[in-house]
Structure 1
Amino acid sequence: MSVTDLRPNLDYWQERVDMAAAFRWTARLNLHEGVANHFSLSVNDDGTKFLMNPNQMHFSRIKASDLLLLDANDPDTLDKPGAPDPTAWGLHGSIHRFCGHARCAMHVHSIHATVLASLADSRLPPIDQNTATFYNRYVIDEEFGGLAFESEGKRCAAMLTDPKVKTMIMGNHGVMVIGDTVAETFNRLYYFERAAETYIRALQTGQPLRVLSDEIAEKTAQELEEYPEQDVRHLAELKAILDDEGSNYAS
């Protein structure tokens, strides 16, 4: 029996399993920040009820049953036992409160994305297929205001109201990616970090960049958006590897 068949009596079990797998792989790929950073997933129609990781639990240990079920419209959330991290609540609660299309939100301080966010010019030019994926599909936050408590979270959420924009390069901070599902969002997070690494390494050569034309960059981005099931199959393969290893992520 696969560990994914072991289903405790918890709501939204498959969503929990997908989230737990994403946490485990984020840690394995060293995209995490110890016991900081947060992922969330809406589970109701208006997007205000969401799953999120517990306060300061390492991504490599998170299980499906560990995830918190929160209500973005509950003003007493931080006063309850087992409350989430205040900055996670400020950022993700605001996103799920004000951006109904952001069903899933993943925020990390991964190395190359954060290097990009630390440059005076944080644009990501389309120099290969991965960087072209994000052409005209990201926004740069130029106004970092400190830790993402509620007011900062609300300010960030206001930058994600355009459904076409699914990546926010958070100047001086890291990256936020959003999507409809865990699979889509994790796939976007993974490829953004790959894209940022390619660009940073290209800059390190000191050689001129071979930048794609606007026409080809947009064409490539559209083709990748329409590519069938890559995100679903990506996450399914990652879960299969965890299952083969006997991981307890789906418990």
Structure 2
Amino acid sequence: MSLKDKVSAEEWQTRVDLAAAYRLCEQYDMTDLTGTHLSARVPGEPDNFLLNPYGMYFEEVTATSLIKLTLDGDVLEDPLGLGVNAAGYTIHSAVLAGRDDLNSVMHTHTRAGIAVSSMECGLLPMSQHSMHFYNAISYHDYEGVAVNLDEREMLQRDLGPVNMALMLKNHGLLTAGLSVSDAFYKLMRLEKSCQAQVDAMSTGGELHLVPEAVSAHTNNQFKNRGTELGDRGWPGHLRRLDKMDPSYAH
């Protein structure tokens, strides 16, 4: 019996979507060998989540290869026997355990993300993309490689009860969402915000920041749309992958 036949239809669809997100990160140059990770809570099983096998590149991840484990770290399904990245478990279990409203978490080490995470100013309100995160992004101080489970409490505290984006200082980016498509949309917006900030600052010219009132207004405009923007674009992402390499869905 295949894994698809063993799990619920909802879990299988989540596996397909999460595997697609891994492939999309590869397409959009948001990978770092085997050092980063994306996760999704298993529908109907709030204490279980899916994570990538440690050692597989993002371009290799499939729906079947994803590891299913509990928030306490017990492995339930590991088809390839590769186990998970210890830091990945720490980070993703922290967010999913601390926020039952969130169902997907994405963490990257991109050049732009690392650069902005190392700036004292943090993310600046200088682009329309960054308006998604105006007064809506949290910051977490660097504590070394995240293999100490005690760091989970600090991650939960720093993310807080509302925000869905976290900048890991001197480290990288993290977004979360109500679904895989929602978290991925936020990741793309945050990555583009960081790229634009690095590009603008590299000119050496004075930056024109969006006024506070306009920033707050624009952020509310995005918030009022909920998950619409991520949901609307997700089928197009899947169509693109289906044309290039549909193996992610297997």
| TM-score normalized with structure 1 length | 0.89
Matched residue, 1:225 = 223
Partner residue in 2 for 1:3 = none
Distance in 1, matches of 2:98 and 2:114, equals 25
Structure 1, unmatched stretches of 5+, are 1-5
What is the letter of the counterpart of residue 236 of structure 1?
P
User: What is aligned with 1:90?
Assistant: 90
Counterpart of 1:146?
A: 144
Larger RCO (CA within 8 A; separation ≥ 6): 1
The percentage of aligned residue pairs carrying the same residue is 24
The separation in 2 between residues aligned to 1:156 and 1:147, in whole angstroms, is 13
- The separation in 2 between residues aligned to 1:176 and 1:147, in whole angstroms, is 15
- Show CA shifts across 1:118-140 (max 9, x none): 12x14212112101111001012
CA distance in 2, matches of 1:154, 1:173: 18
Q: Post-superposition shift, 1:108?
A: 0.6
- Map 1:98-109 to 2 at 5 A: 98-109=98-109
| 2:30 and 2:108 in contact (8 A); partners too | yes
161 and 224 in structure 1: CA distance in 2 versus 1, 3 angstrom threshold: same
Distance (Å, rounded) in 1 between the aligned partners of 2:55 and 2:151: 20
Asked if 1 retains the 8 angstrom alpha-carbon contact of 2:68 and 2:75, the reply is no
Q: Offset of 1:73 from its aligned partner?
A: 2.6
- What's 2:47 paired with? 48
C-alpha distance after superposition, 1:84-132 (max 9, x if no partner):
121111111222222222321101101111100112x142121121011
Q: Distance in 1 between matches of 2:112 and 2:235?
A: 25
- Deviation string 1:23-64 (CA, Å, 9 cap, x unpaired) is 001011111111111111112457321111111210011011
Relative to structure 1, the CA distance from residue 157 to residue 9 in structure 2 (aligned partners, 3 Å threshold; closer, same or farther) is same
In 1: Cα distance, 2:235 partner to 2:6 partner: 21
CA distance in structure 1 between the aligned counterparts of 2:168 and 2:150, rounded to whole angstroms: 15
Distance in 1 between the 2:50 and 2:205 partners?
A: 45
2: CA distance, partners of 1:223 / 1:106: 23
Distance 2:207 2:63 in 1: 43
Q: Secondary structure of 1:65's partner? A: coil
> Within the alignment, does 1:238 sit opposite 2:237 as a pair?
yes
Aligned mates of 2:63, 2:6 — CA distance in 1:
9
Contact 1:117 1:174 in 2 (8 A): yes
CA RMSD of the aligned region, Å? 2.1
Q: Distance in 1 between matches of 2:189 and 2:236?
A: 16
Q: CA deviation at 1:232?
A: 1.2
Q: Which residue of structure 2 aligns with residue 137 of structure 1?
A: 136
Please give the secondary structure, in 1, of the residue aligned with 2:150.
helix
Matches of 1:94 and 1:214, distance apart in 2: 32
Asked if 2 retains the 8 angstrom alpha-carbon contact of 1:42 and 1:103, the reply is yes
| Matched AA of 1:98 | G
Amino acid at match of 1:113: G
Provide TM-score, normalisation by structure 2: 0.89
User: Does 2:103 correspond to 1:113?
Assistant: no
SS in 2 for 1:127: coil
Larger mean CA deviation between 11-20 and 47-56 belongs to: 47-56
- Partner residue, 2:185: 187
The code of the aligned residue for 1:89 comes to Y
Matched residue of 2:247: which SS?
Answer: coil
Distance 1:56 1:122, change over 3 A: farther
